Structure 1
Amino acid sequence: MRGTILIVDDEPEILTALRDLLEDEFDVWSAVSPIAALDILGDEPMISVIVSDQRMPEMTGDVFLSKAREISDAQTILLTGYADLGAVVNAVNNGRISAYMQKPWEPALLLSMIGNAHEQCQLRRNLAEERALLRGLMDGSQDALSFKDTEGRFVRVNHVKAESLGRPPEACLRQREPDLVSVGGQVQPITEAEAEAFASGRATERLEERMVGSSPRFVQVTRVPIAGPDGTPRYLAVLEHDVTDRRLMENRLHQAEKMQALGTMAGGVAHDFNNLLTAILGSLELALRRNDSDARLQRLLENATTAAERGTTLTQRLLTFSRQRDLALRSVDANQVIHEMEDLLTRSIGMGIVVSEELAEDLWAAHVDPDQLELALLNLCINARDAMEGEGSLTLITQNLSVQEEDVLELVPGDYVLVAVRDTGPGIPPEVMARVFEPFFTTKPVGKGTGLGLSMVYGLAQQAGGLARVLCPEGGGTTVEIILPRAPDGA
């Protein structure tokens, strides 16, 4: 790239001579006065070298170069026809000249001096540009970014990384990360991963799970070795991107796909099973009508009928889970449903459980099948009673809920009604949490549960256009939420 040179001299002959010398290798600007030269510098930021005479009418060269330094980072060379050591010293102190030469000059020497000055200016500008890019990257990145030497010591740290270490960036420099982190189990993997990246000489990526307080975070860490002049890695660039939210969304999607597949399977089984039960119940009814005298056979037929009817109830729950059963959706006051269930819940739960209510006074109407909502709440309360082993407190909750675009909930933005059951039981282990809505999955002993209660709750919420979720805060307790769409006006 050709350099751009500005020559300043009040003698036109000198300007002509300098032009002839420089134009083959440089783009040349010229000015016969320092004031005009300052205007040129303001308009031409690419000028890399200023060659100025010392003695000029408007101002001396050292004064001009001092003013030029305020608006340009170009290298400066002072030409003087006198052995004026004072002017040179002043130019060095104020104009920070890179060189000076006496008139008359040696053409080859002056050309070499200007060429070297141009290269120095370009190197300085390139370095400043690289620093600005690095500073912009470090300051603007929302991810943790750092650079380390071969000993694992920080040489650059952005504010995100420094905050994760709990100290300002300056306090992290020349420190090793294992000496700054205090969470057990993280030091060894970090050290091993850095050693692996240095040894391979290639960029590496790995997903790391880290504990932040009591919550696990998933971080995608990219480590890029940076080679020195001899080609061996001397530094390591480390980019840490938090993918916890993305991982949670992937898990939710996987869970939704699994539940959809289970629903399809459950729906097919339920239809076939329902057809068999219909035939069984019809046959039992005919048998009951024809049996007039055998009391023992009558009892057996009635027991079989009761069992078959229970099977029909189970198939209806399966169909609700698989969204293949039509719900009678209408505008429902969830508070009223809960009030009408109070006696039923008291008899079903028992005396050892303290039941309380936290019901919103201005609750919106929900769009749901009231019979199925009542059955879902009954199932949740019985599950809570069993989890608390007959002792504890159970709370029925209703709230208005407005979902925005930025909310994590997998719902269409809009208004919803939340109905929840909260207990004080031991909570649900993580390995069980992922399967609580699966049909036939239960942690109860054989014969104590069907595994269809929560799956029916899930199907009800999904078919109504909402969702169901289970929350287990630290310290125990479980809250099961049913989020239902707000009923349209006039429904």
Structure 2
Amino acid sequence: MSAESRGMILLVDDEPEILTALRDLLEDEYDVWAANSPQAALEILLQEPAISVIVSDQRMPGMTGDVLLAKARGISDAESILLTGYADLDAVVNAINLGGISGYAQKPWEPVLLLSVIANAHAQCHLRRALTTEQALLRGLMEGSEDGVSFKDREGRFVRLNAAKASALGGVAEDWIGRREIGETAEADDVVLSLGRNSQTTEELPMPEGPRLWQVTRVPVRAGDGRITHLARLEHDITDRRRMEARLHQAEKMQALGTMAGGVAHDFNNLLTAILGSLELAVRRVTGDERVERLLRNATLAAERGTSLTQRLLSFSRQRDLAPRSVDANALIRQMQDLILRSIGDGIEIEEALAADLWPAHVDPDQLELAVLNLCINARDAMPAGGRITLATRNLGAVEEGLDLVPGDYVVVSVSDTGTGIPPEVLSRVFEPFFTTKPIGKGTGLGLSMVYGLAQQAGGVARVTSATGQGTTVEMLLRRSHEPPKGR
């Protein structure tokens, strides 16, 4: 049995016989310390904080018992019992006021009565220390936790809440004591209080900087008789975790699609190579029949378009051989102006926002040109009534939060439009091969896939931001080159 459960008693008396008699009475149930002077008792209290009860004589040389217990109160939280052979009412009152005694006994003592007084004092000290420990643990949990922790009464009013929860509510803890929340989360609290069962839900809760996703655990707190008296609520912010899970899921999906697309592209490429070879031989053998020659030319053009599609698939799956080198993205975009204008037609305004101090990018210039052209055509299609396309570049010296990139410097090439935007349910799928919202025959669903594959194969990443009715921006983050740009 531990000293804490047995209890540790300090006996103080200047008469050795009294100390011996008290030790004999108590040592079967308690660990007993003995001091023959008040000074020795104070030294023991400094060394043994586990002492739970002090039993002190009143009349001792140098210091009376009531004065000793008053001094002991400053260094120990032990319960105090005053023991005296004289009916000294003033000493008892003084001990109660200054020493906080929990019991008083006369000499000679009745053993059963004295044991009962000491047992009650030890139990009181043990419970108080346990409560103090629980309060300290709870205070440490609430003050040190980044999660929102709160307690409510049966009426849903806050009785305790930590700084994290108060911050989520937009204030400090003191402002919310005695107040109720409103809205769905408060209604969910009431349900748990009425049903008496634990609950764990995922909820979007408002924050001063915007809504966040939280895992909310509700636990009804019961009194000793089983009645529910309070509700404990723990709120853990899982917004970032869900975003990471979504990014991981998207990366895994794109990797699987890339593997599939690469296999399909290789098979089609082999078939198209055979078809083009056969068509070339057939053209050589057909002379003088213009109709047949025209049909063969049409077939060749269709097969070549198929080859172009397979090359886009290979770019997406990162299985196409690229020729990356140091490229001045600003110069490439400026050289494309005529090509872009011819491709998008009238009614579209082209705007440039090119960084003056742009770093060179490590990328295949032909594929970058094709990617920019594809993005401009997509932007045009998103603005049937006309609008503005912005071609922009910038340096990114530190990887932004949420990007799965190797730390380092990147060059950002972006194409923005003022079009209809992309709905949230579509946004997560725009880079998938063959996924398109355009009518049949108007798009292959491979333009953005090629952009994604180019950025990935160049060691970077492609990303899109959009909102319905607010336009779309597609960015390619390309690794920085530390060599001077090379010509085409």
- Matching of residue 45 in structure 1 with residue 39 in structure 2: no
Equivalent residue of 1:414, what SS? coil
RMSD: 2.4
1:387 matched to 2:382? yes
Which residue type is aligned with residue 487 of structure 1?
S
Q: Which residue of 1 aligns with 2:234?
A: 239
2:155 matches 1:159: no
Measure, in 2, the Cα distance between the counterparts of 1:212 and 1:482.
32
Using the TM superposition, give the Cα deviation of residue 215 of structure 1 relative to its aligned residue in structure 2, in angstroms.
5.4
Structure 2 residue 431 is the aligned partner of structure 1 residue 437: yes
Tell me which moved more, 460-469 or 291-300.
291-300
Deviations 1:355-403 (A, max 9, x none): 2333333333322211111111111111112212253222222222244
User: In structure 2, what is the equivalent of residue 99 of structure 1?
Assistant: 103
1:271 maps to which of 248, 266, 281: 266
**Range with bigger deviation, 12-21 or 137-146:** 12-21
Moved more, 225-234 or 302-311: 225-234
Q: Does the Cα contact within 8 Å between 2:422 and 2:467 map onto a contact in 1?
A: no
Note the C-alpha offset of 1:116. Answer: 0.8
| Number of equivalenced pairs | 481
The answer to whether structure 1 residue 129 and structure 2 residue 123 are counterparts is no
**Which residue pairs with 1:302 in the alignment?**
297
Match of 2:36 in 1: 32
**In the alignment, which of 69, 73, 82 is matched to residue 65 of structure 1?**
69
Which residue pairs with 1:407 in the alignment?
401
2:83 counterpart letter in structure 1: L
Give the match for residue 483 of structure 1: 477
* Identical-residue share of aligned pairs (%): 69
Q: In the aligned structure 2, how far is the partner of 1:6 from the partner of 1:490?
A: 85
Residue matched to 2:359: 364
CA deviation map 1:67-113 (0-9, x unaligned): 11111111111223332222222221111111222333222222211
**Match of 1:41, as an amino acid?**
L
Q: Is the 8 Å Cα contact of residues 156 and 189 (structure 2) preserved in structure 1?
A: no
SS at match of 2:62: coil
5+ residue gaps, structure 2: none
Q: What is the letter of the counterpart of residue 424 of structure 1?
A: T
2:311 — aligned with what? 316
Name stretches of at least 5 consecutive residues in structure 1 with no aligned partner. none
Which piece of structure 1 moves more, 105-114 or 369-378?
A: 105-114
Q: C-alpha distance in 2, partners of 1:377/1:483?
A: 13
Distance 1:435 1:21, change over 3 A: same
Does residue 173 in structure 1 map to residue 173 in structure 2? no
- Identify the residue that residue 345 of structure 1 maps to in structure 2: 340
The verdict on how the C-alpha distance between 1:357 and 1:402 changes in structure 2, with shifts beyond 3 A counting, is: same
Among 119, 124, 135, the alignment partner of 1:120 is: 124
> Aligned partners of 1:47, 1:424: CA distance in 2, in Å?
77
2-structure distance, mates of 1:231, 1:489: 75
- Tell me the secondary structure at the aligned position of residue 17 of structure 1: helix
TM-score using structure 2 length: 0.91
CA–CA distance in structure 1, aligned partners of residues 313 and 189 of structure 2: 49
Do the aligned residues in 2 keep the contact of 1:197 with 1:203 (CA within 8 Å)? no
TM-score by length of 1: 0.91
Residues 113, 256 of structure 1: alpha-carbon distance in 2 compared, 3 angstrom cutoff? same
2:12 is aligned, of 8, 12, 15, to: 8
Task: Give the Cα–Cα distance (whole angstroms) in 1 for the partners of residues 132 and 307 of structure 2.
Answer: 78
Q: Residue type of the partner of 2:106?
A: Q
SS of residue paired to 1:122: helix
Structure 1 position 141 matched with structure 2 position 145 = yes
The AA in structure 1 aligned to 2:219 is: V
Which amino acid counterpart does residue 483 of structure 1 have in structure 2?
Answer: L
Q: Report the counterpart of residue 191 of structure 1 in structure 2.
A: 187
For residue 236 of structure 1, report the CA deviation from its aligned partner.
2.6
Q: Which amino acid aligns with 2:361?
A: A
Kindly report which structure 2 residues correspond to 1:417-456, keeping only aligned pairs within 5 A, or say none: 417-456=411-450
CA-to-aligned-CA distance 1:246-304 (integer Å, 9 cap, x gap): 11222222222222222222222222222222223223323333333333443333233
1-side partners of 2:464 and 2:268: how far apart?
Answer: 30
